Amino acid sequence: MVKKITVIGAGYVGEHVAQALMLQELTEEVVLIDVLEDMPQGKGLDQRQSSTVWGTDTKVTGTNDWADTADSDIVIHTAGRPRKPGMSRDDLLNANVEIVRPCMEKVKEFSPDAIVIMVANPLDAMAYVALKVTGFPSNRVFGMAGILDTARFRAFISMETGVSVRDIQAMVLGGHGDTMVPLPRFTTIAGLPLSHWVSQDKIDAMVKRAAGGGGEIVKLLKFGSAYMAPAAGAVEMAEAIIKNSKRVLPCCCWLQGEYGHNDIYMGVPIIIGENGVEKIIEYPFNDEEQASFDHSVDAVKGLLADVAKFL
């Protein structure tokens, strides 16, 4: 358990992150901060009262004052404008830079030793903003994306095969968006390859659905975007840090030569521990997988080139 985790943004994702942290008692205190007056205080009070029913001693505090976030061990940034129907993650770039940048300036001021988990979209670009604004070492600034993309892929596999998600091992890499890179060749169910369970046509359909998983939910909701699965992914990362469990999870990390690329945030498998990103794991790609990964890199490079002018 750590002393304090700050969750930036008290919207749907933020409130679910705060509640999960409270329910799992991963920290002594969760600080839920938002620019809207009284809203985070109300949600914090509601969750504090619910803790007596759940039987947890983690306190949740809502605030508009950055001083209340001081000396946070982990900061989870969820604040940002949501996707709307027909809106790509790339469309969110300009608006969300203006949200993330001042927040990261406050994180640098009040919690200079924190580990930052970025959740806001476009994820790869917002992680880059956080890195440049805070000046923190890259092992302490990374993003939740691959866990969500992989969760969607695993869910679709479970729905298709009827087996428990607990027995499905999968990995989705690359940028968080339409160019993500699912890896069916490395996907197994109880040790058997995915191709043992379903046809190639069905595998291709699940890969395509996973790549468009976020957009599918946006279309169904008709307002906002997914929040429960993203929140779960962020908390899984925080838990791995807090417990120093050395989990191997796909996260958005700063590459320095890995997979043949430098100075770019991309979704790759990493070992997560108390220091954040402890090691990047390199999968042995075949030519087709490497080409897909390189294509995803090119897409993210365009985003970073656009965002650089705001920093």
Catalytic residue ranges? 176
What's the token pair of residue 86?
């027909």
Of 35, 20, 83, residue with least CA distance to 233: 20
d(CA 189, CA 200): 15
Distances (CA, A) of 211 to 174, 175, 183, 243: 11, 10, 12, 31
- On the CB side of 30, CA atoms within 13 Å amount to 35
| 153 touches 181 (CB < 8 A) | no
272, β-bridge pairs: 247, 277
| Number of Cβ within a 10 Å radius of residue 162 | 8
- Rounded to a whole number of angstroms, the CA Rg of the chain reads 19
Burial class (CB in 10 A: 0-12, 13-18, 19+), 57: exposed
Largest Cα span, the chain = 55
| 175 touches 300 (CB < 8 A) | yes
What's the token pair of residue 2?
């750590």
| 160 touches 202 (CB < 8 A) | yes
Q: Which residues contact residue 52 at a Cβ distance below 8 angstroms, ignoring those fewer than 6 apart?
A: none
Q: Which residues contact residue 231 at a Cβ distance below 8 angstroms, ignoring those fewer than 6 apart?
A: 12, 13, 14, 16, 17, 20, 78
